[in-house]
Amino acid sequence: MFQKILIANRGEIALRIQRACRELGIPSVAVHSTADAEAMHVRLADESVCIGPPPAKDSYLNIPAILSAALVTGAEAIHPGYGFLAENPRFAEMVEAHGLTFIGPSPAHIRMMGDKIAAKEAMAKLGVPLVPGSNGAVTDVAKARDVATQIGYPVVIKASAGGGGRGMKVAQDAGSLDEAFSIARAEARGAFGNDAVYIEKYLDHPRHIELQVMADDQGNVVHFGERDCSLQRRHQKLLEEAGSPALSAGARDRLGATATAALAKLGYRNAGTLEFLYQDGQFAFIEMNTRLQVEHPVTEMVCGIDLVREQIRIAAGATLDYTQRQISFSGHAIECRITAEDPATFTPTPGRVTAFHAPGGLGVRVDSGLYAGYFVPPYYDSLVAKLIVHAPTRADAISRLRRALEEFAIVGIQTTIPLHQRIVDDPEFQRGDYTIHWLEEFVAR
């Protein structure tokens, strides 16, 4: 096992990884920007290193500074968390080139899945169903028109290098295609430095259902069931559930069997998530994330396993402790992403937290770096807390969530807690009756 691990991240996920390290008896090194000197992940760290000024490009994305911090402190492995460098294949390669272990998949798999066109091609070859669309990149508007006519409108034009809900343009009809196509390419070039785009049918009532997988170096692959992440705003997730209110155990098993067989053939290693759109009983793959995800706790709650611990063990060469049959699902879990944003306009609300009280009690988990007196800096993602509840049934989980949201006090800055309270009280949400378009309409009501 590793003697020391460096955590190349901040906020709640840095704390989350620190906790897993501590339970494994492994000292960890926190890194931070000058803006985060007082952050909880630094305060609770065994050791910490300042890696640069506030802008992420100078600190949390500063590869030489992070590698130096690892070498100077004698860390043997680096956990990247999510965001920042987690899906940067160059970073994973450089970690390995410095004789350290990257806690995650191989750089080749990170690269393959980071290129969404390549990812779809690979999955199609492995027998995973896709959303109908162009086979590969579309480089001119005439081809775009052909593809769109063939699959039927509406269509979505996506950046191959896209992520985080960015780099997507919908064309409702032939009249809007040319413009959508050229905007999508220009935006992809600007945001990702790569103007490769592809086209998919834009589904009108899908759910976003994703599957958590874990694979070891010995070729064993298991899945930990699905998460329903259909509640999204601007293609970004806000509330996630495990399991999906729309999926039967049989459908989950079939999806799991297809996905794990595909990843075994690919020789994939460590944690990953396959994302699908699910409509009219059909699954269609959209992308794979080669890292731990924000919403991983709902899976942990229903499976009773620590996914970060598994990631670390596997990176150290250990074999998965269980077979698929030994993984069982118990109860229902829901996560609310609580952000420092105005709950009506979604304008970021950085500032000083003057009072903080986290809810507790049976089946309540709060992953957050907040505390009274903490200043939420304006430089980073606005996620400040994740509230996760677990209960025997979905109805019980909703009651527990309502109670926990009422107890939650974050004073001094506005957060999205009131929005989550409205969602929880909505009858359609309570029935589990929603698609990826539901929240956008709900917010506009």
Return residues touching ligand ADP (CB under 6 A). 131, 156, 162-166, 200-203, 206, 208, 232, 235, 275, 277, 286-287, 436
d(CA 32, CA 36): 6
Pick the closer one to ligand ADP by CB: 398 or 436: 436
Q: What are the residues facing 210 on neighbouring strands?
A: 227, 275
- Min separation Cβ 244 and ligand ADP, Å: 13
Least distance CB 193 / ligand ADP (angstroms): 16
Q: Kindly report whether the peptide bond that precedes residue 154 is cis, defined as omega within 30 degrees of 0.
A: yes
In the complex, the smallest distance separating the C-beta of residue 132 from ligand ADP, rounded to whole angstroms, is 9
Residue with Cβ nearer ligand ADP (228 or 300) = 228
Instruction: Return the number of the residue (276 or 408) whose C-beta is nearest ligand ADP.
Output: 276
Minimum CB distance to ligand ADP, residue 167 (Å): 6
User: Degrees (nearest 5) of the Cα angle 436, 288, 55?
Assistant: 85
C-alpha distances out from residue 133 to 149, 192, 215, 225, Å: 11, 22, 29, 27
Work out whether strand 101-102 and strand 28-33 pair parallel, antiparallel, or are unpaired.
Answer: unpaired
Residue closer to ligand ADP, measured from CB, 166 or 403: 166
For ligand ADP, the closer CB: 90 or 205: 205
Widest distance between CA atoms in the chain: 61
Q: What distance in Å separates the CA atoms of residue 271 and residue 379, rounded to the nearest whole number?
A: 28
From 10, 111, 185, 291, the catalytic residue: 291
Neighbours of 290 (CB within 10 A): 25
By the 8 A CB rule, do 120 and 251 touch?
Answer: no
The CB-of-404 to ligand ADP minimum distance in angstroms stands at 26
* 291 carries an active-site annotation: yes
Angstrom distance (rounded) from CA 320 to CA 220: 7
CA 414 to centroid of chain Cα atoms: 24
Taking alpha carbons only, the member of 274, 268, 275 closest to residue 320 is: 268
Q: Which residues are known to be catalytic?
A: 291
